[in-house]
Structure 1
Amino acid sequence: MLPSLRLANVHKPLIRFLGRRQWPAHPEEPHPHPFAPPEAKQHFQDFLKKFQSSSPASASSPASSSSKSGAKGQVYQDFWQAPPRYWKRELQDWEIELVQTGGASLH
């Protein structure tokens, strides 16, 4: 048997895109969602200031970021800076079984 050539029957997708994909050179300015409640739109600039001041890029070190947060709690850059109760630990067999059965196992 000879292989057949199907050059005349090339697949053309039904969807057509207009133009090339062009991504903006600069990100869009932050703004409230068009359907946000009026009070959210009024206080958006306050929210933006708080958000920018609490971003990780603005914090120079863990000590300075934890002193900024005050009573809200400390911010830890690495897990060993946190108290040991927050560290990762090895799971016990009964805990693994509990997760695998979706909580249906009895312990």
Structure 2
Amino acid sequence: MTKKKPAIVKRFDDYFGAGTLEDWQRLCGDVGLSEDFGSKTKCRKALKRVHVNIHDLLSAIENGHAVHRFRNVRELAEYSVREGKIYPKRWVKDGPIKALLRCIA
């Protein structure tokens, strides 16, 4: 029996798309990275240095706002726990979500 995909997982999957280089580059641009990344690997490495709440990332994109970036993992963790905005770890696969996900416990 498979469990129904949580709404946040579906929202991210819908936003990200098929995972082409262009999808990765769009994500990098959406989180405020202005460098021209020529490969998925370069995008992935750059995203590992960015601290964003995935719920807020999607809301900002959907509403045409800038994405809030936290200065460090601690600030992201405190905010995410306080607001109850946690991406379900069991749904993490390799790819952009893994590059963005931080251990906040």
Q: Relative contact order (alpha carbons < 8 A, sep ≥ 6): 1 or 2 greater?
A: 2
- TM class by shorter chain equals under 0.3
* Structure with the higher helix share, 1 or 2: 2
TM-score, structure 1 as length reference: 0.23
Larger Rg: 1
